[in-house]
């Protein structure tokens, strides 16, 4: 596909369940980000993958959150024992890194997570 693809687009789950969110970045993009957007809130950085480097996990809010990126392409964000405050839109973005310059990010449409 031409853009960043995220699945599912909507996920409703019960409190305490685990969820997995998937992101397929644009082919060839080495950088991949996960952000969280809560109602009325800005974009909260979660985690950043760049090539084969160790990911920047500084934005993960708790140890219930984890993410991996297999083969430098597809990424999965996992939330264990979901809580109601985890309800938000989870956005994935990718970019083709340009050394020395800023990056233009291409965003997916997001996964709307609702924890009941």
Partner 1 sequence: GDSVTQMEGPVTLSEEAFLTINCTYTATGYPSLFWYVQYPGEGLQLLLKATKADDKGSNKGFEATYRKETTSFHLEKGSVQVSDSAVYFCALYRDKLSFGAGTTVTVRA
Interacting residue ranges for partner 1, rule: CB under 8 A: 33, 35, 41-43, 45, 48, 56, 91, 93, 101-105, 107-110
CB of 4 to partner 1, least distance (A): 9
Q: Which is nearer to partner 1, 43 or 74 (CB)?
A: 43
Q: Which residues contact 49 (CB under 8 A, 6 or more apart)?
A: 31, 32, 33, 55, 67, 69, 75
Query: What distance lies between CA 27 and its chain's CA centroid?
Result: 16
CB of 29 to partner 1, least distance (A): 13
CB of 62 to partner 1, least distance (A): 19
Q: Which is nearer to partner 1, 14 or 102 (CB)?
A: 102
Q: Which is nearer to partner 1, 49 or 86 (CB)?
A: 49
CB of 70 to partner 1, least distance (A): 21
């Amino acid at each position: 596909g031409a853009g960043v693809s995220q699945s599912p687009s909507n996920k409703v789950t019960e409190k305490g369940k685990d969820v997995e969110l998937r992101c397929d970045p644009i082919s060839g993009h080495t950088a991949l980000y996960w952000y969280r957007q809560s109602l009325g809130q800005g974009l909260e950085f979660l985690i950043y993958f760049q090539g084969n480097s160790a990911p920047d996990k500084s934005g993960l809010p708790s140890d219930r959150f984890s993410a991996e990126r297999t083969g430098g392409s597809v990424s999965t964000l996992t939330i264990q024992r979901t809580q109601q405050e985890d309800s938000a839109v989870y956005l994935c973005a990718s970019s083709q890194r340009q050394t020395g310059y800023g990056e233009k990010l291409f965003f997916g449409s997001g996964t709307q997570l609702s924890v009941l």
